[in-house]
Every structure is written in C-alpha cells, then in structure tokens.
Amino acid sequence: MKNKDLLQIAEDFGSPVYVYDSEKIVSQYKRLTKAFKHVKQVKINYAVKALSNINILKLLTNCGSGLDTVSIQEVKLGLKTGVAPEKIIFTPNGVSINEIEEAVKLGVQINIDNLSILEQFGTIHPDVPVCIRINPHVMAGGNTNISVGHIDSKFGISIHQMPHLLRIVENTGMNINGIHMHTGSDILDVEVFLYASEILFEAAENFKDLEFIDFGSGFKVPYHENDIETDIEEFGKKLGKRFNEFCKNYGKELTLSFEPGKFLVSESGYFLVKVNSVKQTTSTVFAQVDSGFNHFIRPMFYGSKHEVVNISHPTKHKRFYSVVGYICETDTFANNKRIAEISEGDILAFKNAGAYCFSMASNYNSRFRPAEVLWYNGEAKLIRKRETFQDLIANQVEVEL
C-alpha cells in the first residue's frame, strides 16, 4: 500500500487504526498453493486466531481456504461467515470434552491432542472421524514462547506415546482420518521441518484409513529488508515430492494440509498511530504515540521488531527514536530506531501488523480497541468500528453498595 492511502485512512477513520491490504493476503495464499502445485490434493486452513475479523475469513475462504480454529467461538465465527463445517478443523488444546462435543454437533473436523480426551471421546463417539495431533519433539524456531514441539510442550501427543495411542484406537474402534503436527512459529530451517515431517510420516503408517496429513504451520515471514524467511518454494518442492512418495507407498491419494496464520496475514497489516508528544530525556528521544501494548503487544510480549515508518514525513532526515505508548506501564514498541524526523501529530505506521496484533488487543487502561480497515480494490472499507465508552461498561453490573 502507498503512504498516501494509509495517511488518508488515518485521517478518515482516526487513530490508532489497523489496516489490512487484501491484495497481499490473496497473493500469499496463491504463493503457498503454487509452491505445492505438484501435489494433487492440497488444503489450506487459515489459522483464525492470527486475525479473526469475519471479513478476513471471508476473503480467504473465497480463495478456497478452509479454517483452522482453536476455540468453539472461532468455530462459530467461521460458521457465521458462511463457511461449511467440513471446511473447518477444530484444533484446541486443553479444552474440556464438552467443548469438543459441541464442535462435533456443529459438524466440524475434530483434532485431538491428548490421550485422556482421546479415550473418553472414542468411547462416546467411536463413529466420529478424528484427527490426532502428534508432538514430534522437534524444536522449530528460536523463541520458546512460540515453539510448541519441544519436550516440555503442552501441545500434542508425544510420538513416544504411540503404543498407548494405538491401544486406545483399537480398544474404542474409533476412526482416525487425519494426523497432524504444529511445531511452532518462525521456522527458520526447511530441513528441520522436513525432519519433523519424516516423524509424522512414520506415525501415519500406523493408520489405515487416513484422508489427510496436516503439517501445521509456523512459516517465518520477513520483518525487514534482507530478513530471513521460510523459503516456501523450496519447501513446497521438497515436501511435495516426499508427500507424493508417501502416498504411493500408502496406496491412496491423501490430502496435504497446512494451517498458516502469520504467513497469510502478517505482511498485509499496518498499524497506524499518531505521535502525541516528542520527549527528550537525558539519554534518548521518545516518540509517544496514541496506543500501547494494549493494542499492539508483540514487541513487548515476543520481542518482535516491527519496522516503523513516519508516513507523514517519510523523506526527512533520519534520527534515532524510542517509540513508546501512552499507557501507564512500560510499553516500548521500538528502541533506538532510525526514523525520519518526527513532529508531534505525525502518523507512524508499524509494518507486519496483520497477525497476532488486533487479535491480541485488550482494553487495559480502559482504552478502546482500535478500528480495523480493509483495503480492497483500491477502497478503504471499515470492517470494525472503534470501540466506544458504552462497550467498556456493557458487561459491568453495577450493584447496590
């Protein structure tokens, strides 16, 4: 998107505001499917939790995507968007059997990641096909917050528990139609992913009635120029070839599934904020903006480094800034960043603000959550209104005191 379009959006809809470029989302979707063009049946299930506005779900499902959901509420969001239940997979962690049963009633594909629940579920519903989530114990990515394949991880059924898993499947007579792994975000090395895939293939051989193998996600996207990213094209070539070999041996054409979140939406997003004040201290120059980690938590929570552009004055000479927010808590967005000289009132744009940004926003400090705007066919469309004071108190119950 162009700076002038972003500036216009900040002017028309106010700040802070999230903006998503629909063209980028669609092109990422196409890029991923193209990388696997040698596989007959490929299915992409967009991970709703990355960015869950129903218009984003619609945009992606219009491209042919299914949905990967982690809560019954996400399942319902998908259904409300008009997505067929067969195109939704429910991959929760640590939920009650009741929540899984509710998902069964809604007709979505169930993915189970724990032996106790598997045994209970298989006993009550031996006829409902189930996918199982395996933990191959492969470390993907560097940050333990977003790495879910390691030995202490709460996700998945350990590959070492396969004998117990098979015993449950046999005793209950349940039907396993898929096998799944998701080893975490920010995979840097295709070889590591392929290594984990081999473990999944080996596990898959234990089940005779599979329909799909789901390789999860965790593709790394670039955060700045020359940043490393998962080489999707190389990955598609290598995994696709290996998948086709597997199917040949297995004796059946299976579907290869993925469930990317970040890869599809991260780079489409811009978070626009306005500079309230420029504050010089003895050691730094702060640019204080009209937001905080309540709206945009990734820099504080994951240490992620988002590019910042002064879209009001992009060509001014660059100076060093610490960009911070306005909440009463340390909420640093960027440290020692070179940004075109900032004046009060300027609009700054944080890039890569599509995934895990709005969806993790809160009302901390009793601030309203921002508006969301979709840039579609050269037009800005409001897809979520900025909250109002009424929203803040809507569920508060005033009692006699």
Please report how close the Cβ of residue 305 comes to ligand PLP at its closest, in angstroms. Answer: 17
Give the residue closest to ligand PLP by C-beta.
261
Q: Which of 212, 263, 296, 375 binds ligand PLP (CB under 6 A)?
A: 263
Instruction: Measure Cα distances from 60 to 78, 161, 180 in Å.
Output: 11, 36, 22
Under the binding rule (CB under 6 A), the answer on residue 200 touching ligand PLP is: no
Under the binding rule (CB under 6 A), the answer on residue 50 touching ligand PLP is: yes
Please report how close the Cβ of residue 283 comes to ligand PLP at its closest, in angstroms. Answer: 36
Beta strands in 300-390 (DSSP E): 308-310, 318-324, 332-340, 347-350, 371-376, 379-384
Q: Which CB atom, from 8 or from 143, has the smaller least distance to ligand PLP?
A: 143
Q: Which of residues 290-319 bind ligand PLP (CB under 6 A)?
A: none
Q: Which of 21, 68, 331, 346 binds ligand PLP (CB under 6 A)?
A: 68
Is the C-alpha dihedral spanning 65, 66, 70, 71 positive or negative? positive
Please say whether the beta carbons of 193 and 235 come within 8 A: yes
Q: How far is 355 from 264, CA to CA, in rounded Å? A: 8
**Which has the closest alpha carbon to 213: 185, 239, 189?**
239
Is the C-alpha dihedral spanning 52, 59, 214, 188 positive or negative? negative
Strands 285-289 and 318-324: parallel
Under the binding rule (CB under 6 A), the answer on residue 246 touching ligand PLP is: no
Q: Which of 31, 49, 125, 351 binds ligand PLP (CB under 6 A)?
A: 49
Q: Which CB atom, from 35 or from 355, has the smaller least distance to ligand PLP?
A: 355
* The dihedral formed by the CA atoms of 292, 295, 300 and 305, expressed in degrees to the nearest 10: -100
Under the binding rule (CB under 6 A), the answer on residue 261 touching ligand PLP is: yes
Q: Which CB atom, from 13 or from 296, has the smaller least distance to ligand PLP?
A: 296
Q: Which of 33, 53, 65, 91 binds ligand PLP (CB under 6 A)?
A: 91
Q: Which of 262, 274, 298, 367 binds ligand PLP (CB under 6 A)?
A: 262
Q: Is 328 a catalytic residue?
A: yes
Please say whether the beta carbons of 140 and 187 come within 8 A: yes
Q: Which of 43, 182, 306, 337 binds ligand PLP (CB under 6 A)?
A: 182
Please report how close the Cβ of residue 267 comes to ligand PLP at its closest, in angstroms. Answer: 12
Q: Which of 66, 216, 354, 370 binds ligand PLP (CB under 6 A)?
A: 216
- Burial (0-12, 13-18, 19+ Cβ within 10 Å), 14: middle
x-marked contacts with ligand PLP along 347-366 as a string, rule CB under 6 A: --------x-----------
Please report how close the Cβ of residue 151 comes to ligand PLP at its closest, in angstroms. Answer: 19
Count the Cβ atoms, other than its own, within 10 Å of residue 166: 14
Under the binding rule (CB under 6 A), the answer on residue 32 touching ligand PLP is: no
Under the binding rule (CB under 6 A), the answer on residue 370 touching ligand PLP is: no
Under the binding rule (CB under 6 A), the answer on residue 47 touching ligand PLP is: yes
Q: Choose the catalytic residue: 63, 131, 328, 357.
A: 328
Q: How far is 184 from 155, CA to CA, in rounded Å? A: 10
Helices (H), 92-231: 97-106, 115-124, 162-172, 190-204
Q: Which CB atom, from 22 or from 135, has the smaller least distance to ligand PLP?
A: 135
Roughly how many angstroms between the first and final C-alpha of the chain, as a whole number? Answer: 53
Give contact residues for ligand PLP (rule: CB under 6 A).
47, 49-50, 68, 70, 91, 182, 185, 216-219, 259-263, 355
